[in-house]
Amino acid sequence: MNNKYAIILGNLGNTRDRFCPGYKDNPGSQEMLKRVLEQMPHIRGIELVGTWDIRPDNVQDMKKRLADAGVACASIIPDTFTNAAYGKGSITNINAGVRQQALDYLRQMSEIALEMNCGIVNLWLGQDGYDYLLATDYDQERNWLTESTKTLAEEFPTLRYALEYKPKEPRNFSYHARMADTILAAKETGCNNVGITIDTGHSFYAGENVAEAVVLAKRAGNLLYHMHFNDNHGYWDDDMIVSSVHYTCYVELLFWLRKTGYDGWLSMDQYPYREDAVDAISESILWVKKYEQIVDTYYTEIERLIKENDAVKTSRFLRKLIL
């Protein structure tokens, strides 16, 4: 594989949970970028969150900083999730004025992506979903979801819009919840520049086999545009260090990313609430790199094991890797 490693810049900041406003100081974007470039291994790309890290007033400065450092802008992530105005949805809000505000903001972020020579706008529409039953017109809101995504994709045909799915949080139900329904959402736009981001942690706690999700995206027409890596215990988006919990899943994932010809970014998306962010996220990078090395070394053997469909032989192989 191509070892295109990236990081979401804001993950080095003051990550917060429901109970505490933060466990560490929050450095500015410039300081976080400095730490990435000076202290983290193998980084070739930076993902920038709209409004947090990048805005119309600092685009040229950020572009120069990345260029001087020799790293690319891997994606722009519009912030439709922390703005209270979007508390009941951004492009699916029942208020037409809010929907228009959200669409205009996404246009602005798309313009920034073009200025940054960044090919991907990562759409994690965390507030677009619902909480209560008998309180939502699912059909209408999905129509609005499709219409706005299609509008963006048609207005910015050189950009790729990657829909990042997650089963829940901050809403109890998300419209982009799992691979299958997100494939449907991408296909319904009719645009060939709308695809999908897999966040490994989101896939784990969606009850998916993330390697199979990669294959589904491939079968749907090479829809896998982007990858976010982290880990969890399977019932919440814990955003932990890669390999804290899962092992076999990551061996299989890296195998299928290679077999399906994925050539996009391998980006770290982590919330090290209490850990040193540079150290914790660097661990994730080194774990993913280790899994890449395993797949590179044993690719033919793994392929043969899959075809043999013998769980005991596969178990012996995995045990050999540990020993």
- Strand pairing category for 173-174 and 129-130: antiparallel
Q: Is the pLDDT score of 26 beyond 90?
A: no
Tell me if 310 is assigned to some domain: no
pLDDT in tens, 197-233: 999 999 999 999 999 999 999 999 999 999 999 999 9
Give the model's pLDDT for residue 29: 86
Tell me if 273 is assigned to some domain: yes
Tokens 């890296």, located at residue: 254
Q: What is the CATH number of the domain that holds 173?
A: 3.20.20.150
Tell me if 304 is assigned to some domain: no
Give the model's pLDDT for residue 1: 57
C-alpha distances (whole Å) from 251 to each of 254, 266, 297, 300, 303 are: 6, 14, 12, 13, 12
pLDDT in tens, 31-54: 989 899 899 999 999 999 999 999
Tell me if 34 is assigned to some domain: yes
CB 32 within 8 Å of CB 66: no
Hey, how many other C-beta atoms are within 10 angstroms of the C-beta on 176?
26
Tell me if 323 is assigned to some domain: no
Largest CA distance in the chain: 60
pLDDT in tens, 6-25: 999 999 988 888 899 888 88
pLDDT in tens, 92-116: 999 999 999 999 999 999 999 999 9
Mean pLDDT, residues 309-320 taken together: 97
Is cis: bond before 157, omega within 30 of 0? no
Q: Is the pLDDT score of 244 beyond 90?
A: yes
Tell me if 186 is assigned to some domain: yes
DSSP 127-160: TSEESSTTS--HHHHHHHHHHHHHHHHHH-TTSE
Determine the straight-line distance between the first and last CA of the chain, rounded to whole angstroms. Answer: 25
Tell me if 315 is assigned to some domain: no
Mean pLDDT, residues 25-34 taken together: 87
Q: Which domain holds residue 63?
A: 5-296
Tokens 């043969």, located at residue: 304
Q: Could you tell me where the DSSP H helices lie in 29-95?
A: 29-39, 59-69
Burial tier of 200 (Cβ tally within 10 Å: 0-12, 13-18, 19+): buried
Q: Which DSSP state fits 265?
A: -
pLDDT in tens, 267-285: 999 999 999 999 999 999 9
Tell me if 314 is assigned to some domain: no
Give the model's pLDDT for residue 152: 98
Give the model's pLDDT for residue 30: 86
SS3 278: helix
Record the tokens describing residue 148, joined without a space: 């706005």
SS3 25: coil
Give the model's pLDDT for residue 17: 86
* C-alpha triplet 166, 95, 106: angle, nearest 5°: 55
Give the model's pLDDT for residue 318: 97
DSSP 185-254: HHHHHT-TTEEEEEEHHHHHHTT--HHHHHHHHHHTTS-EEEEEE-B--SSS---B-TTSS-SHHHHHHH
Q: How many domains does the chain have?
A: 1
Residues in the chain: 323
Q: Is the pLDDT score of 2 beyond 70?
A: no
CB 108 within 8 Å of CB 76: no
